[in-house]
Chain A
Amino acid sequence: MSDAAVVRRVLSGDVEAYAVLVARYRDRLGRYAFHQLGNREDAEEAVQEAFVRAYRALDRCHSPERFGAWLFQILVNRCRTIGGRRGRRERFAVADEDALNDARVEHPADRLALGDAIRWALDQLPYEQREAFLLKHVEDLSYEQMAEITGAGISALKMRVKRACDSLRQLLAEVESV
Chain B
Amino acid sequence: MSEQQDELIQRVVEELRRPVALDSSLDERVMARIRNEPVRLPEPRRWLLRPFTLRLSPLGALAAAAGFAALVAATTLAVVRSGWLAGVPGSAGATPGVAAVPFVLYAPDAHSVSVVGDFNDWDAAATPLKPAGPSGTWVVTVPLAPGRYRYAFVIDGTRWVPDPGAPLAPADDFGTPNSVLTVGS
**A interface residue numbers (CB < 8 A to B):** 10-11, 13, 15-16, 18-19, 22-23, 26-27, 30-31, 34-35, 40, 43-44, 47-48, 51-53, 55-60, 62, 70, 73-74, 77-78, 81, 114-115, 118, 121-122, 134, 137-138, 144-145, 147-149, 151, 165, 168-169, 172
**Interface of chain A: mostly helix, strand, loop or mixed:** helix
Give how many A-B residue pairs fall within 8 Å (CB-CB). 129
Tell whether B40 is near chain A: CB-to-CB under 8 Å.
yes
Interface residues of B in 85-130 (CB under 8 A from A): 116, 121-123
Total B residues in contact with A, Cβ cutoff 8 Å: 42
Give the interface of B toward A (CB within 8 A): 5, 8-9, 11-13, 15-23, 26-27, 29-31, 33-35, 37, 39-43, 116, 121-123, 156, 158-160, 173-177
Question: Do the beta carbons of A56 and B15 come within 8 Å of each other?
Answer: no
A145 to B19, CA, bound (A): 22
- A40 with B22: CB separation less than 8 A: yes
A78 to B9, CA, bound (A): 27
How far apart are A59's CB and chain B's nearest CB, in angstroms? 4
Nearest Cβ in chain B — how far from A34, in angstroms?
4
Q: Taking CB as reference atom, which chain B residue is nearest A80?
A: B173
Interface pairs (16), CB distance under 8 Å: A18-B30, A26-B26, A26-B27, A30-B26, A31-B16, A52-B30, A62-B122, A73-B176, A74-B173, A114-B15, A118-B11, A137-B16, A138-B17, A145-B158, A168-B12, A172-B8
Contact yes or no, A55 B16, CB < 8 A = no
Are A62 and B121 also in contact (CB < 8 A) when A13-B39, A27-B19, A144-B159 are? Answer: yes
Query: Which chain A residues lie closer than 8 Å to B156 at the CB level?
Result: 144
